[in-house]
Amino acid sequence: MASALERDAMRRAIVLSAFGVGTTSPNPPVGCVILDAGGRLVGEGYHERKGEPHAETQALAAAGEHARGGTAVVTLEPCNHHGRTPACRQALIEAGIPRVVISVIDPTSRREGGAAALRGAGVEVEVGILDDETRLVLGPWLAALEGKRPFVTLVYTVNADGLVGGLPTAARTSARELVMDAHNLRLVHDAVLLGDGQLEEGVLNGHGQDVFKLPTDTPHEASDLLASLIEGGVRSLLVDGICSLTSSFLEVGLVDQAVAYVASSGPSNASQVTTDTKHFAGLLRGFVLRDMIRVGGTVRVSSARRR
Ligand SMILES: [Zn+2]
């Protein structure tokens, strides 16, 4: 069991982990909070970018000597391998941490990961704390691991006549709020398949907002494209609803999440909305509503594929 304080700390760690979304791939976005022996928050951190220190290392560095005798609260099982950085379970042991609270177990660890190693070293380990909430951030990374392909978000607009258009950009709409919101969607995905068929990768990777575009010789099948992208380290892909591969993605069931910016049609002309086989009033069949918020004169409707 985790205490109320440890659950509070986990929620803080989950929020911290979200700072890594869009930059950590192929690594997961992870957050970590260190509580000292008296339960005070003495350090926190998150994994920011591939090749840079993991969340646990950042949090331990911030806590310094205060970590000794304390508790580490971390959203994903600490790693057990020495890769680009030393194994986090070793760093936790060396810092004198006697208790580690973990939300989600790393599915790649096959029960031989950091949790088992920590227990083997006499550390008390709790797992499964607030894992549903952690999945709000870690979900796409976990889904990519499980599906062996990037997590796919389809984005599009639905105008007042119920017609479907593409990703809101400055060229397509004058609603600045909408353009900024859609731009942020691009930032939090590892790659973006644009309406003109170009692939934009690493909008936030590297340093600053380094956008580079690949030539258009991308594969013509959605599944082929996803296979090559996951190979290249991409864990999440944003697909512009008007790109030529969109129907291929939908037909094979490769869209995990949809974001639709829906304009009001008004009560009088509701009959004009399209009712084709894939959409009803701009919503995808087989998808469940997750979140709705007003953005720039539209309602942004987020939905997820029914599992
Ligand atoms: Zn690690």
The arithmetic mean of pLDDT across residues 255-264, rounded, is 94
Going from the C-alpha of 240 to that of each of 167, 182, 187, 226, the distances in angstroms are 5, 10, 14, 15
Q: Measured in angstroms, how far is the CA atom of residue 53 from the centroid of ligand 1? A: 8
For domain 148-305, the question of CATH label 3.40.430.10 is answered with yes
Instruction: Say what the pLDDT of residue 94 is.
Output: 96
- The yes-or-no verdict on residue 229 having pLDDT over 50 is yes
Is the CATH number of domain 4-143 3.40.140.10?
A: yes
CA distance 224 to 40: 50
Q: How confident is the model at residue 81 (pLDDT cuts 50, 70, 90)?
A: confident
The tens digit of pLDDT for each residue in 120-172 reads 999 999 999 999 999 999 999 999 999 999 999 999 999 887 788 899 988 88
What pLDDT shows up at residue 212?
Answer: 47
Residue 279 banded pLDDT, cuts 50, 70, 90:
low
* Confidence at residue 238, expressed as pLDDT on a 0 to 100 scale: 96
Query: How many angstroms separate the alpha carbon of residue 152 from the centre of ligand 1?
Result: 26
**Weakest-pLDDT range from 110-119, 204-213, 250-259, 288-297:** 204-213
- Three-state DSSP at 101 gives strand
209 compared with 254, residue with greater pLDDT: 254
Mean pLDDT of 59-72: 98
* DSSP per residue, 231-280: HTT--EEEEETTSTTHHHHHHTT---EEEEEEEP-TGGGGGGS---SSEE
Of the candidate ranges 23-37, 128-142, 260-274, the one whose mean pLDDT is the lowest: 260-274
| C-alpha 201 – ligand 1 centre gap (Å) | 25
Lowest mean pLDDT segment, chosen from 28-32, 72-76, 83-87: 83-87
Residue 153 alpha carbon to ligand 1 centre in Å: 28
Q: Look over the chain and give the mean of its residue pLDDT values, rounded to a whole number.
A: 88
Between 211 and 258, the higher pLDDT residue? 258
Burial of 102 (0-12, 13-18, 19+ CB in 10 A): buried
pLDDT (tens digit per residue) in 186-214: 999 999 998 888 888 765 554 444 444 55
**Measured distance CA(244)–CA(220) in Å, rounded:** 9
pLDDT of residue 197: 82
Cα separation of 37 and 10, whole Å? 16
Span 82-102, average pLDDT? 90
CA 186 to ligand 1 center in whole angstroms? 27
- The Å distance, Cα 79 to ligand 1 centre, comes to 4
Question: Domain residues of the chain, as ranges?
Answer: 4-143, 148-305
**At residue 276, does pLDDT exceed 70?**
no
Angle formed by the axes of helices 131-147 and 4-17, nearest 10°:
40
Say whether pLDDT at 15 is over 90: yes
**Segment 49-63 mean pLDDT:** 94
**Beta carbons of 5 and 39 less than 8 angstroms apart:** yes
pLDDT score, position 200: 85
Q: List the catalytic residues.
A: 56
Asked if residues 290 and 303 have their Cβ atoms less than 8 Å apart, the reply is yes
pLDDT of the residue at 199: 87
pLDDT digits (tens, 9 = 90+) for 289-300: 999 999 988 999
- Residue 91 DSSP one-character state: H
The 3-class secondary structure across 112-166, one letter per residue, is CCHHHHHHHCCCEEECCCCHHHHHHHHHHHHHHHHHCCCEEEEEEEECCCCCEEC
What are phi and psi for residue 303, nearest 5 degrees? -140, 155
* 232-244 tens-digit pLDDT: 899 999 999 988 8
Bridge partners of 72, per DSSP, are: 34, 100
